[in-house]
Amino acid sequence: MTTVNPAAAVQITGLQKAFGDLEVLRGIDFEVARGEVVCIIGPSGSGKSTLLRCVNLLEEPTAGQVYVGGVELTDPDVDIDAARRRVGMVFQQFNLFPHLSVLGNVTIAQRKVLRRSAEEADRIARDNLVRVGLADKVDAYPAQLSGGQQQRVAIARALAMGPDVMLFDEPTSALDPELVGDVLGVMRKLALEGMTMLVVTHEMSFAREVADRVVFMDGGVIVEEGPPSKVIGDPAYERTRRFLSRVLDPAAAEVEE
Ligand SMILES: Nc1ncnc2c1ncn2[C@@H]1O[C@H](COP(=O)(O)OP(=O)(O)OP(=O)(O)O)[C@@H](O)[C@H]1O
Ligand SMILES: [Mg+2]
């Protein structure tokens, strides 16, 4: 029987996810406190995206519970749409509507899902575009923006829904290196403002600097977690060390192999 921690922004207990015979998540337990920034790292295929997608109910877990703000998303009777609104998600691919302006992209879900008036949605969109440093781009179309700017529009779009938690799945890995810093800068600011964030990333310097906690996943389980100075700086497990040496110094890892 699960004890619900009302202070946790996200609580995950015994989470499992299988696709047919493939067990992708094999029993995940963890909590994210309000205002906490947790970075998830781990090799390709370890289940990081699947974990985020279960927190957002884009995937239905095979077993276990997911609570956001004390509400069980995995309860069959939960109001799924209401529950989903508590969770903002930013993907590697920005998924903006190409035929809508920046303002249109940031207002559409507010209008359709939250049923906000045009004026209110507009005001909230503009406020959030200021927050991500794009006040001057409200009337631009996605094709007129850099990848970094498009990703910041996607962040503003998620923030405009007023989520309790923001999930980021490798938000900078599709960007040219010179555009990565702007997006990480916006995320760093959100963290400082007290946003609860769960971030899958390969940006180890960001994780070191911004994360309160780092979670290393491999093979569908959490291998270790702790402060970045510990998990990245002085990992307890060989699996973590091997992963980090590949990410931090790919050339050396190739020589090793
Ligand atoms: N819808 C799906 N159907 C079948 N298998 C899936 C599905 N989604 C993910 N998988 C499998 O689950 C495993 C974990 O995938 P996941 O995307 O969660 O990994 P990841 O840690 O995010 O990897 P990456 O770092 O490459 O993004 C992979 O073997 C993947 O092929
Ligand atoms: Mg992934």
Whole-number Å distance, alpha carbon 88 to ligand 1 midpoint, is: 20
Instruction: Give the ligand at the shortest distance from the Cα of 50.
Output: 1
Instruction: Give the ligand at the shortest distance from the Cα of 25.
Output: 1
Q: Average of pLDDT values for 177-206?
A: 95
Token pair in block for residue 221: 């389980």
Nearest C-alpha to atom 12 of ligand 1 is from which residue?
Answer: 24
Residues 111-160 pLDDT 10s: 999 999 999 999 999 999 999 999 999 999 999 999 999 999 999 999 99
Distances (CA, A) of 142 to 39, 94, 138, 139, 180: 28, 10, 10, 10, 17
Q: Is the CB of 19 under 6 A from ligand 1?
A: yes
Using CA atoms, how far apart are residues 200 and 216, in angstroms rounded to an integer? 10
Whole-number Å distance, alpha carbon 59 to ligand 2 midpoint, is: 13
Q: Average of pLDDT values for 221-228?
A: 97
Q: Average of pLDDT values for 11-38?
A: 96
Residues 49-108 pLDDT 10s: 999 999 988 999 999 999 998 889 989 898 888 888 899 999 999 999 999 999 999 999
